[in-house]
Amino acid sequence: MSIGELNADGLESLSGRTLDGRYRLVKYVDRGGFGAVYLGLDGKFNQPVAVKVGLSYRDFMKEAKLAAEVRHDHIVQVTDYGHDNGLAFMVMEFLNGDSLEKLFLKQDRRLSPEQLCQLVREVGDALAQAHADHLVHRDLKPRNIMLKEPPTKSGTSSFPKKFVLLDFGIAAKLDAEGTQRNRTKDGAGTVEYMAPELLQTPSVATPQSDIYAFGVILYQMLVGRVPFPQADSSFMAMAECLNGIARLPPPRFAEVAPDRSFPPGIEALVLQCLEKNPSRRPQTMEEVCERFLACYEPKPEPPAPPPSSGRPWLWMTTALLLIGLSVAGAFAWKDNQSGPVIDPVASLFIRQGDDSFIEVKDGLLELLAGSDTTLALRIDGLPSGTIPVFETPELPTEAVRAELLNGLTAAVGHLKLSVPDLNTRSMDLPQVTWRASIPGYSPPVEVELKLRIREPEPWLPQAKEDRSFQMASDAKLCRVGNRIFATVLELRAADRSVRFRLIPGREIDDRRIDTFYISERLISNDLFARFADEQPDFEVERRGFGEHPWRSADEAPVTDVLAIEAQRFAWWLVGPQGGLPTATEWDIASGYYEFVQTLNALAERGERPKTLGGFLKQPVTLQDIAAKVWIGLDPADCIFEGQQQRSPYGLQYDLKSGMRLTELTATVLHDLDLGTERNLRSILPAGAALDKEALLLYQARLRGYGRTADLQTETPFLWAEESKQGVVARSVKSFNDTCGSVTLLPSPEIGIASDSYIGFRIVLLTDNTSR
d(CA 569, CA 524): 12
Mean pLDDT of 559-567: 77
The mean pLDDT value of the chain amounts to 74
CATH number at residue 53: 3.30.200.20
Mean pLDDT of 604-617: 66
Q: Is the pLDDT of residue 214 over 70?
A: yes
Query: What is the percentage of the chain residues whose pLDDT exceeds 90?
Result: 29
Q: Range with the lowest mean pLDDT among 15-24, 161-170, 260-269, 280-289?
A: 161-170
Same domain, yes or no, for 209 and 294?
Answer: yes
More confident residue, 679 or 501: 501
Same domain, yes or no, for 128 and 214?
Answer: yes
Q: How far is CA 350 from the centre of its chain?
A: 16
Residue 344: the pLDDT is 86
H-helix or E-strand containing 81? Answer: strand 78-84
Q: Range with the lowest mean pLDDT among 38-42, 127-131, 502-506, 725-729?
A: 725-729
H-helix or E-strand containing 214? Answer: helix 207-223
Mean pLDDT of 197-205: 76
Sign of CA dihedral 32, 34, 38, 41: negative
Residue 663: the pLDDT is 76
Q: Is the pLDDT of residue 489 over 70?
A: yes
Q: Per-residue pLDDT tens for 39-51?
A: 999 998 888 998 8
Instruction: Give the confidence band of 409 by pLDDT, cuts at 50, 70, 90.
Output: low
Mean pLDDT of 715-731: 56
Mean pLDDT of 400-414: 78
Instruction: Give the confidence band of 466 by pLDDT, cuts at 50, 70, 90.
Output: low
Q: Is the pLDDT of residue 700 over 70?
A: no
d(CA 738, CA 716): 11
Q: Range with the lowest mean pLDDT among 178-192, 345-359, 400-414, 441-455?
A: 178-192
Q: Is the pLDDT of residue 688 over 50?
A: yes
Instruction: Give the confidence band of 363 by pLDDT, cuts at 50, 70, 90.
Output: confident
More confident residue, 644 or 581: 581
Mean pLDDT of 310-338: 35
Cα distances (Å, whole numbers) of residue 477 to 3, 501, 672: 32, 12, 43
Same domain, yes or no, for 226 and 287?
Answer: yes
3-state secondary structure of 652: strand
Q: Range with the lowest mean pLDDT among 53-62, 76-85, 603-612, 746-755?
A: 746-755
| Domain assignment present for 382 | yes
Q: Is the pLDDT of residue 203 over 80?
A: no
> How many domains does the structure of the chain reveal?
3
d(CA 79, CA 290): 32
456: left (phi over 0), alpha (psi -120 to 50) or beta: beta
H-helix or E-strand containing 677? Answer: helix 674-683
User: Which one of 454, 481, 505 terminates a domain?
Assistant: 454
Say if residues 51 and 30 touch (Cβ distance below 8 Å).
Answer: no
3-state secondary structure of 205: coil
Residue 105: the pLDDT is 94
User: Which one of 284, 299, 314 terminates a domain?
Assistant: 299
Q: Is the pLDDT of residue 311 over 60?
A: no
Q: Is the pLDDT of residue 402 over 90?
A: yes
Q: How many CA atoms lie within 13 A of 355 on its CB side?
A: 13
Report DSSP letters for 526-581, one per residue. Answer: HHHHHHHHH-GGG-SS---TT--GGGG-SSSBP-S--HHHHHHHHHHHH-TTEEPP
More confident residue, 725 or 502: 502
3-state secondary structure of 287: helix
User: Which one of 299, 316, 341 terminates a domain?
Assistant: 299
| Domain assignment present for 475 | no
d(CA 202, CA 378): 13
Instruction: Give the confidence band of 604 by pLDDT, cuts at 50, 70, 90.
Output: confident
Q: Per-residue pLDDT tens for 632-682?
A: 544 544 444 444 467 778 888 765 544 555 677 765 433 344 444 554 454
Instruction: Give the confidence band of 568 by pLDDT, cuts at 50, 70, 90.
Output: confident
Containing structural domain, residue 152: 96-165+190-299
Q: Where does residue 650 rank: exposed (0-12), middle (13-18), buried (19+ CB within 10 A)?
A: buried
Q: Range with the lowest mean pLDDT among 223-237, 511-525, 749-763?
A: 749-763
Q: Is the pLDDT of residue 149 over 80?
A: yes
3-state secondary structure of 278: helix
Running DSSP on this structure, what letter comes out for residue 150? P
Q: Is the pLDDT of residue 339 over 90?
A: no
Question: Model pTM greater than 0.75?
Answer: no
Q: Where does residue 494 rank: exposed (0-12), middle (13-18), buried (19+ CB within 10 A)?
A: middle
Sign of CA dihedral 659, 665, 669, 670: negative
Report DSSP letters for 701-770, one per residue. Answer: EEESSEE-TTS-SEE---SEEEETTEEEEPPHHHHIIIIIEEE--SSTTTSS-TT---EE--EEESSS--
Q: Is the pLDDT of residue 500 over 90?
A: yes
| Domain assignment present for 769 | no
d(CA 568, CA 539): 9
Cα distances (Å, whole numbers) of residue 62 to 56, 65, 68, 589: 10, 5, 10, 41
Residue 72: the pLDDT is 87
Short-list 117, 251, 141, 262, CA closest to 191: 141
Active-site pick, 80, 139, 210, 637: 139
d(CA 196, CA 85): 42
Same domain, yes or no, for 59 and 124?
Answer: no
Same domain, yes or no, for 48 and 154?
Answer: no
3-state secondary structure of 643: strand
Q: How many CA atoms lie within 13 A of 577 on its CB side?
A: 18
* Cβ burial 590-622 (10 Å sphere, 16+ → b, else e): bbbbbbbebbeebbeeeebbeebeebeebebeb
Residue 355: the pLDDT is 60
Same domain, yes or no, for 59 and 120?
Answer: no
| Domain assignment present for 467 | no
Instruction: Give the confidence band of 621 by pLDDT, cuts at 50, 70, 90.
Output: confident
| Domain assignment present for 36 | yes
Query: Is 139 annotated in the active site?
Result: yes
Give the total residue count for the chain. 771
Same domain, yes or no, for 87 and 106?
Answer: no
Q: Is the pLDDT of residue 567 over 90?
A: no
At 560, the amino acid letter reads D
Q: Which of 9-13, 297-301, 425-429, 675-679 has the highest mean pLDDT?
A: 425-429
Instruction: Give the confidence band of 725 by pLDDT, cuts at 50, 70, 90.
Output: low
| Domain assignment present for 400 | yes
d(CA 196, CA 410): 13
**Which parts of 258-363 fold into alpha helices (H)?**
266-273, 285-296, 312-330
d(CA 381, CA 341): 11
d(CA 360, CA 79): 29
What residues have CB less than 8 Å from 303, skipping those under 6 apart?
Answer: none
Say if residues 463 and 577 touch (Cβ distance below 8 Å).
Answer: yes
Short-list 736, 682, 670, 436, CA closest to 541: 682
Q: Is the pLDDT of residue 353 over 60?
A: yes
Residue 308: the pLDDT is 42
Same domain, yes or no, for 152 and 203?
Answer: yes
Q: Per-residue pLDDT tens for 548-558?
A: 778 777 888 88
Residue 336: the pLDDT is 37
Strand-pairing partners, residue 743, are 699
187: left (phi over 0), alpha (psi -120 to 50) or beta: left
Same domain, yes or no, for 28 and 141?
Answer: no
Mean pLDDT of 137-153: 82
CB atoms within 10 A of CB 372: 14
Query: What is the percentage of the chain residues whose pLDDT exceeds 70?
Result: 67
Q: Is the pLDDT of residue 280 over 50?
A: yes
Same domain, yes or no, for 70 and 136?
Answer: no
Residue 677: the pLDDT is 53
| Domain assignment present for 434 | yes
| Domain assignment present for 541 | no
CATH number at residue 372: 2.60.40.10
Same domain, yes or no, for 12 and 101?
Answer: no
Same domain, yes or no, for 290 and 204?
Answer: yes
Short-list 38, 715, 656, 56, CA closest to 353: 56
CATH number at residue 213: 1.10.510.10
Residue 697: the pLDDT is 38
Three-point CA angle 329, 331, 334, nearest 5°: 120
Instruction: Give the confidence band of 166 by pLDDT, cuts at 50, 70, 90.
Output: confident
d(CA 762, CA 573): 9
Q: Which of 88-97, 438-447, 525-534 has the highest mean pLDDT?
A: 525-534
Q: Is the pLDDT of residue 427 over 90?
A: yes
